[in-house]
């Protein structure tokens, strides 16, 4: 069931290197009443550090998409969306 709406509830933590934040959001309908969103906003500066962090996020997304559904007690990925250049 898809949520009818989402409301930002609270920032939980900033991500390393200023590349985004973890946010708790409240869903109107949907699978769960609340979710944790990882909002990634990496700078597009082309530095080696930024490229490495982007790759790290790619690997993390791959894990949650392919392997987490087969693991007990591991957070599940409900959705992922990439917006902007560099992805």
Q: Do 30 and 57 share a structural domain?
A: no
Q: Do 34 and 11 share a structural domain?
A: yes
Q: Do 28 and 59 share a structural domain?
A: no
Tell me the Cα Rg of the chain: 14
| In a domain? residue 27 | yes
If one counts the domains in the chain, the total is 2
Q: Do 31 and 63 share a structural domain?
A: no
pTM score, two decimals?
Answer: 0.74
| In a domain? residue 83 | no
| In a domain? residue 87 | no
Q: Do 13 and 1 share a structural domain?
A: yes
Give the closest residue to 85 by CA, choosing from 19, 39, 55, 41: 41
User: Tens-digit pLDDT profile for the chain (87 aa)?
Assistant: 678 888 888 999 998 877 889 999 988 887 788 889 898 887 778 889 888 888 998 999 999 999 999 999 998 888 888 776 655
SS3 for the chain is: CCCCEEEEEEEEEECHHHCEEEEEEEEECCCCCEEEEEEECCCCCCCHHHHHHHHHHHHHHHHHHHHHHHCCCCCCCCCCCCCCCCC
Q: Do 34 and 9 share a structural domain?
A: yes
The separation between CA 41 and the C-alpha centre of its own chain, rounded to angstroms, equals: 10
Range of the domain at 65: 44-73
Structure tokens at 38: 């990882």
77 within 8 A of 57, measured Cβ to Cβ: no
């Amino acid at each position: 069931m898809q949520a009818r709406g989402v409301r930002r509830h609270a920032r939980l933590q900033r991500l390393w290197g200023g590349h985004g934040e973890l946010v708790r959001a409240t869903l109107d309908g949907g699978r769960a009443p609340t979710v944790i969103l990882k909002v990634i906003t990496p700078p597009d500066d082309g530095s080696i550090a930024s490229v490495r962090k982007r790759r790290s996020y790619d690997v993390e997304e791959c894990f949650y998409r392919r392997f987490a559904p087969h693991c007990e007690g591991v957070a599940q990925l409900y959705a992922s969306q990439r917006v902007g250049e560099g992805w």
